[in-house]
């Protein structure tokens, strides 16, 4: 089974479009796999423990449990509005997860892979970690990225990360599929260099942090939030599940084909802690997951482009966007206007422009024209025709290229390029319509054969596009397929796509605009 996960989001605020992008990307890839005929499983969820969450709850004067429940609801509501269809949902306060984390901790402790020591050092509250001298900048200070830093002298439990660092270096060097895109590998190798002589502190004394999973071998401590959170990828996949549990069969899912994460959490958590934790648990090299690292959505500002952040107050709410422009426009934009792995600037005008030009004017227009004219000139039914010419042949032949390009890019997780292939195919059909002008030639009954052939070709492109675009804009494609009166399209796998999926004698419905154009004023 193809197994896709996303990062689990901290429940210390509402989701923004960076969170939404990652989840939509995963949803698109999961739907794509399923429509290919593969079995696929998509796990997402929320990271509910840790200091950030405890602090925000304290500020609001509520207990963390109540706070987390409320914020989690905000995430599930947002994901519902975006049409995400996940197969599994991870909440780190779930007792099943807690049990799994504690089992792993106990086993590692029993094997001597976790030990206790006194440590005096500097601690970053924002990053929830101890800092070493390697984290100091050229001026010998801890830079702003660490936020408030304080000196601490305390006993804690440590995971023998350093035992696995040499293995990790070799693994990363020799496994080109571990990190996508490949250009991120250098950052990881550099970070491994820095991790060489430091074990990972995996506990927090309860007097500082109560909101976490208690260490099974010392009730004075809770688990470091990253140690807890990373385990979600296996705990919710059924790792060590107890009998009768409804969790999936672990062996059918693991290893994950894609851990989809943002570039900020590649190092050290996902590329150092996680593989070393798995290695310590006994997973082999063949059982390591693949990391798909996406870029960042930034915000355009007068000085260029800046990070989205609550403190700057430039965070974009995906729920507002869906309420204003609909699910299709938002999903389409989020995977169309960024190249997977790279950054992009969020720009509302581009959202509207892409929706209006590529969906409303291109696909919407083709769909409207094809259905309208089939009603008007062909009694709403596709009719046999003996007409054929070079342009018909070319349009039919363009399908092969579009399909090949679409699957090649989807297989490499490059949704934007895959969409270009589909949009090009649809544009070809609009050019074809302009060439034949069925609305003009239909006035002369002698052209009936040509009109029928042209309309059949246009309808065919609409039908094929509705299958190819379904993983990206499922709602709109369902509306198109309903107007084509072709429910069988929703069952179609990509491999079954070939010219001629709308049979002759097939009746279509009257069109209703699938993509009503969005006016700019509406956005303001
Ligand atoms: O890091 N553009 O949670 P988180 C694109 N709980 N992606 C963005 C983004 C942006 N502007 N801002 C955030 C955590 N993200 C941990 C993860 S996983 C075991 C634990 C992405 O809520 C970010 O890169 O801070 C990450 O992948 C995800 O949103 C959650 O971030």
Mark whether 371 and 278 lie in a shared domain. Answer: no
Q: What is the pLDDT of residues 25-75, one digit of tens each?
A: 999 999 999 999 999 999 999 999 999 899 999 999 999 999 999 999 999
Q: Encoding tokens for residue 319?
A: 């729920």
Using an 8 Å Cβ cutoff, are 226 and 256 in contact? no
Q: What is the pLDDT of residues 160-202, one digit of tens each?
A: 999 999 999 999 999 999 999 999 999 999 999 988 788 999 9
Ligand 1 atom closest to Cα of residue 264:
24
Which residue has the least CA distance to atom 8 on ligand 1? 18
ipTM of the prediction: 1.00
- DSSP state letters, 253-316: HPSPSEEEEEGGGIIIIIIIIHHHHHHHHT--GGG---EEEE--EEEEETTEEEE--TTTT-PP
Distance CA 167, CA 162 (A): 10
Query: In angstroms, what is the span from residue 144 Cα to ligand 1's centroid?
Result: 19
Which residue has the least CA distance to atom 9 on ligand 1? 18
Q: Encoding tokens for residue 143?
A: 């830079």
Q: Which of 15, 22, 74 to mutate to test the pocket of ligand 1 (most atoms within 8 A of CB)?
A: 22
Mark whether 299 and 358 lie in a shared domain. Answer: no
In order of 8, 81, 463, 483, 495, the CA distances from 480 in angstroms are 34, 20, 8, 5, 21
Query: In angstroms, what is the span from residue 471 Cα to ligand 1's centroid?
Result: 23
Query: In angstroms, what is the span from residue 263 Cα to ligand 1's centroid?
Result: 9
Q: Which residue has the tokens 């430039």?
A: 314
- Residue 210 forms part of a structural domain: yes
Query: In angstroms, what is the span from residue 287 Cα to ligand 1's centroid?
Result: 24
Quick check: CB of 9 below 6 Å from ligand 1? yes
Q: Which of 4, 24, 47, 312 to mutate to test the pocket of ligand 1 (most atoms within 8 A of CB)?
A: 47
- Residue 323 forms part of a structural domain: no
Query: End of a domain among 279, 307, 335?
Result: 307
**Residues with Cβ within 8 Å of residue 25, at least 6 apart in sequence:** 260, 294, 334, 335, 340, 413, 415
Quick check: CB of 228 below 6 Å from ligand 1? no
Quick check: CB of 501 below 6 Å from ligand 1? no
Average confidence score pLDDT of the chain: 96
Query: In angstroms, what is the span from residue 235 Cα to ligand 1's centroid?
Result: 20
Range of the domain at 148: 2-307
Q: What is the pLDDT of residues 494-505, one digit of tens each?
A: 999 999 999 999
- Residue 457 forms part of a structural domain: yes
Quick check: CB of 19 below 6 Å from ligand 1? yes
Mark whether 357 and 292 lie in a shared domain. Answer: no
Quick check: CB of 213 below 6 Å from ligand 1? no
**Residues with Cβ within 8 Å of residue 454, at least 6 apart in sequence:** 387, 392, 432, 433, 436, 438
Quick check: CB of 297 below 6 Å from ligand 1? yes
Quick check: CB of 273 below 6 Å from ligand 1? no
Quick check: CB of 308 below 6 Å from ligand 1? yes
Q: Determine the angle formed by the axes of helices 474-483 and 327-336, rounding to 10 degrees.
A: 120
Give how many domains the chain has, as a whole number.
2
Mark whether 139 and 253 lie in a shared domain. Answer: yes
- Residue 104 forms part of a structural domain: yes
Quick check: CB of 7 below 6 Å from ligand 1? yes
- Residue 317 forms part of a structural domain: no
Distance CA 242, CA 235 (A): 11
Ligand 1 atom closest to Cα of residue 47:
6
Mark whether 292 and 355 lie in a shared domain. Answer: no
Mark whether 242 and 372 lie in a shared domain. Answer: no
Q: Encoding tokens for residue 213?
A: 């999973």
Nearest to 103 by CA among 266, 268, 95: 95
- Residue 245 forms part of a structural domain: yes
Mark whether 364 and 491 lie in a shared domain. Answer: yes
Which residue has the least CA distance to atom 26 on ligand 1? 262
Ligand 1 atom closest to Cα of residue 261:
27
Quick check: CB of 262 below 6 Å from ligand 1? yes
Which residue has the least CA distance to atom 19 on ligand 1? 230
* pLDDT tens for each residue of the chain, 524 residues long: 999 999 999 999 999 999 999 999 999 999 999 999 999 999 999 999 999 899 999 999 999 999 999 999 999 999 999 999 999 999 999 999 999 999 999 999 999 999 999 989 999 988 888 898 888 999 999 998 898 899 999 999 999 999 999 999 999 999 999 999 999 999 999 999 988 788 999 999 999 999 999 999 999 999 999 999 999 999 999 999 999 999 999 999 999 999 999 999 999 999 999 999 999 999 999 999 999 999 999 998 888 899 887 778 899 999 999 999 999 999 999 999 999 999 999 999 999 999 999 999 999 999 999 999 999 999 999 999 999 999 999 999 999 999 999 999 999 999 999 999 999 999 999 999 999 999 999 999 999 999 999 999 999 999 999 999 999 999 999 999 999 999 999 999 999 999 999 999 999 999 999 999 998 665 54
Which residue has the least CA distance to atom 13 on ligand 1? 18
**Residues with Cβ within 8 Å of residue 470, at least 6 apart in sequence:** 31, 35, 477, 478, 490
Ligand 1 atom closest to Cα of residue 230:
19
Query: End of a domain among 307, 326, 358?
Result: 307
Q: What is the pLDDT of residues 354-374, one digit of tens each?
A: 999 999 999 999 999 999 999
Using an 8 Å Cβ cutoff, are 475 and 81 in contact? no
Q: Encoding tokens for residue 337?
A: 């206007």
**Residues with Cβ within 8 Å of residue 373, at least 6 apart in sequence:** 438, 439, 442, 451, 455, 458
**Residues with Cβ within 8 Å of residue 325, at least 6 apart in sequence:** 351, 352, 355, 518, 522, 523
Nearest to 416 by CA among 334, 357, 294: 334
CATH of the domain at 120: 3.40.50.620
Mark whether 414 and 296 lie in a shared domain. Answer: no
Quick check: CB of 50 below 6 Å from ligand 1? no
Distance CA 5, CA 285 (A): 19
- Residue 450 forms part of a structural domain: yes
Q: Encoding tokens for residue 430?
A: 């609009």
Mark whether 259 and 361 lie in a shared domain. Answer: no
Distance CA 103, CA 101 (A): 6
- Residue 337 forms part of a structural domain: no
Nearest to 368 by CA among 176, 155, 168, 510: 510
């Amino acid at each position: 089974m193809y197994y896709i996960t996303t990062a689990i989001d901290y429940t210390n605020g509402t989701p923004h479009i960076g969170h939404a992008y990652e989840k939509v990307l995963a949803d698109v890839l999961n739907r794509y796999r399923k429509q290919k005929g593969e079995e696929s499983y998509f796990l997402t969820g929320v990271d509910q423990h840790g200091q950030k969450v405890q602090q925000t709850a304290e500020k609001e004067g509520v207990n963390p449990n109540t706070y987390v429940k409320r914020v989690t609801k905000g995430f599930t509501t947002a994901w519902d509005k975006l049409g995400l269809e996940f197969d599994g949902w991870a909440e780190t306060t779930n007792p099943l997860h807690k049990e799994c984390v504690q089992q792993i901790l106990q086993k590692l402790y029993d094997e001597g892979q976790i030990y206790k020591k006194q440590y005096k050092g500097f601690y970053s509250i924002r990053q929830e970690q101890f800092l070493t001298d390697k984290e100091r900048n050229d001026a010998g200070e801890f830079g702003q990225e660490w936020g408030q830093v304080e000196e601490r002298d305390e006993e804690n439990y440590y995971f023998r990360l350093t035992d696995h660092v040499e293995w990790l270096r070799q693994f990363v060097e020799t496994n080109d599929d571990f990190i996508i895109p490949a250009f991120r590998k250098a950052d990881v190798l550099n970070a491994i260099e820095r991790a060489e002589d430091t074990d990972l502190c995996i506990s927090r004394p309860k007097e500082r942090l109560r909101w976490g999973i208690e260490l099974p071998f010392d009730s004075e401590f809770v688990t470091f939030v990253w140690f807890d959170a990373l385990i979600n990828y296996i705990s919710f996949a059924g790792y060590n599940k107890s009998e009768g549990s409804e969790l999936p069969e672990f062996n059918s899912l693991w290893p994950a084909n894609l851990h989809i994460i943002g570039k900020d959490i590649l190092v050290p958590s996902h590329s150092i802690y996680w593989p070393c934790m798995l290695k310590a648990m006994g997973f082999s090299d063949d059982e390591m997951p693949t990391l798909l690292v996406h870029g960042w959505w930034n915000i355009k500002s007068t000085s260029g482009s800046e990070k989205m952040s609550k403190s700057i107050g430039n965070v974009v709410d995906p729920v507002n966007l869906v309420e204003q422009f609909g699910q299709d426009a938002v999903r389409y934009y989020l995977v169309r206007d960024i190249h997977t792995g790279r950054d992009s600037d969020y720009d509302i005008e581009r959202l509207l422009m892409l929706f209006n030009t590529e969906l409303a004017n291109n696909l919407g227009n083709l769909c409207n024209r094809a259905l309208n004219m089939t009603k008007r000139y062909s009694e709403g039914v596709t009719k046999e025709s003996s007409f054929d010419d070079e342009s018909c042949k070319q349009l039919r032949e363009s399908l092969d290229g579009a399909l090949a390009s679409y699957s090649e890019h989807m297989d490499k997780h490059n949704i934007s390029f895959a969409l270009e292939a589909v949009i090009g195919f649809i544009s070809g059909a609009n050019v074809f319509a302009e060439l034949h002008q069925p609305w003009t030639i239909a006035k002369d009954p002698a052209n009936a054969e040509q009109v029928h052939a042209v309309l059949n070709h246009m309808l065919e492109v609409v039908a094929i596009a509705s299958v190819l675009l379904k993983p990206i804009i499922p709602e709109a494609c369902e509306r198109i397929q309903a107007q084509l009166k072709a429910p069988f399209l929703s069952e179609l796998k990509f491999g079954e796509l070939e010219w001629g999926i709308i049979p002759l004698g097939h009746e279509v419905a009257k069109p209703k605009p699938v993509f009503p154009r969005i006016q700019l004023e509406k956005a303001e």
